[in-house]
Chain A
Amino acid sequence: MEEQPGLSDQYRMSSPWPVFVALGLALSEIGVFIGLFPVAVFGLILFGGSVAGILTESGYATRPWPTLVGIGVLLAVLAALVAVLQLPTSAFTLANVGEGPLFTRLVAVVVAGAVMVAMGGAGSVAEQTKV
């Protein structure tokens, strides 16, 4: 076996994930509410990724990728829904990114969701071709 055991296999009472779940949530909230685009995107990705990781680690999911895709889809759909319900169609322009306060925030969430879907997809494809 060339596989090294990970931290949470070696030690029954530790897990690297909780710190990052917390950090991810904190950064997401700052990013989305204060309106800092990059912080929102990266915070949400960190949060989604860590949730996928911790669920896998504790055995609630066998692989992290479907969870990641699921969270991504959920976020993107929610943000899109809010946008459609709350904004006039005229607000949906590329120029409005960075201008309209609500629109910019929602775009950040959609982007984060899309990145998560892409990461999850790429991850599972890579894994299936390797094994």
Chain B
Amino acid sequence: MAAGDLVLTGLMAVLLVGIAALLTRIENWRSYTPLAGGGTATGETVVHREKPAGIVRWLTTVDHKDIGLLYGVYAVIAFAVGGIMAMLIRLQLVTPGGALLGANAYNSILTSHGITMLFLFGTPIIAAFANYFIPLLIGADDMAFPRINAIAFWLLPPAALLIWAGFFLAPVTENMIEPAQTAWTMYTPLSVEQTNPGVDLMLLGLHLSGVAATMGAINFIATVFTERAEEVTWANLDIFSWTILTQSALILFAFPLLGSAIVMLLLDRNLATTFFAVEGGGPLLWQHLFWFFGHPEVYILVLPPMGLVSLILPKFAGRKLFGFKFVVYSTLAIGVLSFGVWAHHMFSTGMDPRLRASFMAVSLAIAIPSAVKTFNWITTMWNGRLRLTSPMLFCIGFISNFIIGGVTGVFLAAIPVDLVLHDTYYVVGHFHYIVMGAIGFAAFAGIYYWFPVFTGRMYQRTLGKAHFWLSMIGTNVTFFAMLALGYLGMPRRYATYQFDGAIAPLAQVQTYHLLATVGAVLLFVGQLIFVWNVVQSWLEGPKVEDGDPWDLERDGMLDREFQWFDRKLETAVTDGGEDEEQSALTGARSDD
């Protein structure tokens, strides 16, 4: 141990000296002029660029658009990692005995899949859109706190490394540090009893990602409140900004709680406290704390995608969003109600039946504002001039999948139904209809819709449509099969299912597992096409020359971000040359 400590000390010392040296090289600490508003008037050091070149630019940027892109790239990488894990899970389950993984490996991958998708893909992909587009949509120069914005992003790469740490460390530590096998809900006492340090690392990673989300939320609230252009009022604030504002408020109340609960769990694990021990707070305390965060978290993940759909759908329906005000009100209503439903995840724990009934009532009530939105989207399309572009297809797919996901949620919110279906694949089907079928689809809609803005190029439309149809069919085959598996009684989170025929009809169960895997393969192929389309079009796609690639002017729906894009294209043309694009754009702004 002493030798190990020595090595670690040396390593840390070298790191610190290296960082200090690097910082003194690139940064002159004496030259700071407080609140430097632009160029320093020192002759030769004229400021004509706003960012350094190369990799340093990306490491040091505090520009909201760059940070948005960083978030986007990060989220897509996480989506790929989580997706590969999902494929492993599905392939494993084609045979009752398990096709390729041992039980421990299966549990590790299941745990990481959930956490990766929710915390490393879901939250960051939303932050990507919000960072890039909220300032543009509300006419702000940047976020209220650009540096905090950058800090929040840079907390995420270490968070991912920590969450995945067990996979890297198990081979080099002879399985002393393994990936966590707690499932994403980390229920005690299981999560306290697993002494594996990989669990601690994962908890720390989650904690960091929570800190990042909270910092981002504070930033968005401050930005929407204080940085709006004069002509942007509360009355004409766009729907995406409304949902991000509500989401940020939810984050502000939910994530610090998760952070505290995680710290308590870490203390229970490492310092023998008894927060969740039977002789202390009791194991159920964890479930209450976790779901008090966990249910708002699902709305944290779904509200901004709803905002994206509310923003994009009208553009291709040729009609304004139907009942705009009510969509905003229902967003706020969901935000408030989402804190009053958490115990619907705990109906079968033996909690007080009277309490249980009240949670059932609120859970059923939350379906109302969700339905308001759904009807508004459908009415927006009614008699509209629909243009079935890729973003529009994904919006329509969102609505379709959200209906199935939502209705199954309402079923689960009814106590008697839940007691039968709890911890079966029905629940897995329910939330995947929403997390993949709705949240994922809205992210794709956003990526295709704004592709011209953030790349200056157009994606390949045929590939976009192939991506949509494979995703739509794949999602419905996979997750509908899971709903059926749930009805058959197949419990969730098992690496194998060689059970007694009295529990569930094995032949049917295997058939539906097979179907789910076939659907997953379709989904996977669709995502390969997506990645190819994005990468290739970004590099080689046709340059967009028109500031209104979607022909939105015709219906008077050209929002601020496309107007900004149009100005950017024009300045680039008058100045000529790729290289000057950046400075031409910002030159006008740098002396304000």
Chain A residues proximal to chain B, CB less than 8 Å: 1, 3-23, 25-27, 29-30, 33-39, 41-43, 45-46, 49, 53-54, 56-59, 62, 64, 101-102
Contacts and interface: CB of A to CB of B under 8 A. Distances in A.
16 contacts: A11-B47, A12-B36, A12-B47, A12-B50, A14-B52, A14-B61, A14-B63, A15-B62, A18-B147, A19-B59, A30-B162, A33-B266, A34-B204, A42-B12, A45-B16, A57-B32
Nearest to A21: B151
Given A18-B62, A25-B211, A12 B42 contact: no
A35 B8 CA distance: 12
B19 interface: yes
A106 B11 CA distance: 21
Contact of A19 (B12, B34, B50, B154): B154
Contacts of B32: 6, 8-9, 56-57, 59
Contacts of B150: 15, 18-19
Contacts of B19: 20, 46
Contact of A38 (B8, B29, B47): B8
Nearest to A130: B30
A101 B42 contact: no
Nearest to A40: B12
A130 B5 CA distance: 38
Given A19-B154, A25-B155, A33-B270, A64 B12 contact: no
Contact of B270 (A19, A21, A30, A35): A35
> Which of B150, B153, B207 has the largest count of A CB atoms less than 10 A from its CB?
B150
Contacts of B563: none
B490 to A, nearest CB: 38
B149 to A, nearest CB: 8
A27 to B, nearest CB: 8
Contact of B147 (A6, A17, A33, A36): A17
Nearest first, the 3 A-B pairs at minimum CB distance are A6-B28, A18-B150, A22-B154
Contacts of A23: 154, 158
Nearest to A31: B12
B42 A26 contact: no
Nearest to B1: A98
A36 B56 CA distance: 31
A64 B151 contact: no
B155 A22 contact: yes
B42 A1 contact: yes
Given A18-B154, A26-B208, A33-B200, A10 B62 contact: no
B45 interface: yes
B35 interface: yes
Given A14-B51, A20-B19, A59-B32, A38 B12 contact: yes
Contacts of A35: 270
Interface string B1-24: 000010011011101100110110
A6 B29 contact: yes
A5 B52 contact: no
B271 interface: yes
Contacts of A102: 271
B26 interface: yes
A9 B204 contact: no
Contacts of B201: 30, 34
A53 to B, nearest CB: 7
A13 B61 contact: yes
B8 to A, nearest CB: 5
A59 B23 CA distance: 18
B12 A9 contact: no
B262 to A, nearest CB: 10
A102 B27 CA distance: 38
Contacts of A43: 12
B60 interface: yes
B173 interface: no
Nearest to A3: B31
A9 B60 contact: no
B197 interface: yes
Given A12-B47, A13-B61, A20-B23, A29 B204 contact: yes
A23 to B, nearest CB: 7
Contact of B23 (A14, A42, A53, A101): A53
A8 B36 CA distance: 9
A113 to B, nearest CB: 16
Given A10-B52, A19-B59, A64-B29, A41 B12 contact: yes
Contact of B40 (A9, A13, A56): A9
Contacts of B200: 33-34
Nearest to A38: B9
B49 interface: yes
Contacts of A14: 50-52, 56-57, 60-63
Contacts of B154: 18-19, 21-23
Contacts of A27: 12
Contact of B151 (A5, A22, A49): A22
Contacts of B26: 6-7, 16
A8 B27 contact: yes
B590 interface: yes
A43 B158 CA distance: 13
A46 B59 CA distance: 17
B158 A59 contact: no
B102 interface: no
Nearest to B20: A49
B195 to A, nearest CB: 13
Contacts of B204: 29-30, 33-34
B61 to A, nearest CB: 6
Contacts of B30: 3
A26 B158 contact: yes
